[in-house]
Structure 1
Amino acid sequence: MAKKNMIQREIKRAALIQKYKRKRKNLKEQIKKAQISKNKLNYNMNYKNYLGIVHYAEKENRCWMTGRSKGFYRDFGLSRHVLREMAHDCLIPGLHKSSW
């Protein structure tokens, strides 16, 4: 047989479930409405990846000279190729190729 405090705890939980049943139902309906309105947004706002998980589309960082997206340095807004060339030509102040 269960302890008396465990029985009382279950009774208390059942009472709380009944007390907040209507509030929980209203919140679930509001969430459902918000999800429906979110899905009606522009396609570019969200997309599904190969796992089927919805993510927000983010603007990809691109080099402002070549448009390359890989090897991008945020501090300069350049790809690694252009950054190296400009550093060799002394076009970026304070940046030089290290050697040791």
Structure 2
Amino acid sequence: MAKESIKARERKREHLVAKYAKKRAELKAAAITKRLINCQKNASPVRLHNRCKLTGRPKGYMRKFGINRVTFREMASAGKIPGITKSSW
């Protein structure tokens, strides 16, 4: 499980990206790079990293579900994810 400070930092970045998205798009369209450089670095979408919404784990992330593979397997085995069953043949 990731530290709370790291998860909070990622949430802060997500908030800043959403807040400055329109402003960054306008500056990019007008090709004003000097003002774009002066924007906050954390407002850039490139700095975001996919993390598990429950544990904060950065690796093994599954985009479709928003969680990592370990959490996905635990939840699927417990029947907490609708439509997902353990395969058997």
| Range class of TM-score, shorter chain | 0.5 to 0.7
Instruction: Find the counterpart in structure 1 of residue 54 from structure 2.
Output: 65
Aligned amino acid, residue 39 of structure 1 = I
Larger Rg: 1
- What number of residue pairs does the alignment pair up? 60
Q: Give the TM-score, by structure 2 length.
A: 0.55
Q: Give, in whole Å, the separation in 1 of the partners of 2:63 and 2:81.
A: 14
* Higher RCO (C-alpha under 8 Å, 6+ residues apart): 2
> Structure 1: which 5+ runs fail to align?
1-29, 47-55
Taking only aligned residues, the RMSD between alpha carbons, in angstroms, comes to 2.1
Instruction: Find the counterpart in structure 1 of residue 27 from structure 2.
Output: none
Instruction: Find the counterpart in structure 1 of residue 85 from structure 2.
Output: 96
Q: Give the TM-score, by structure 1 length.
A: 0.50
**SS of residue paired to 1:91:** coil
Taking every aligned residue pair, what percent have the same amino acid on both sides?
Answer: 40
Q: Which has the higher helix share?
A: 2
Alignment of 1:19-98 (within 5 A): 34-46=32-44, 56-98=45-87
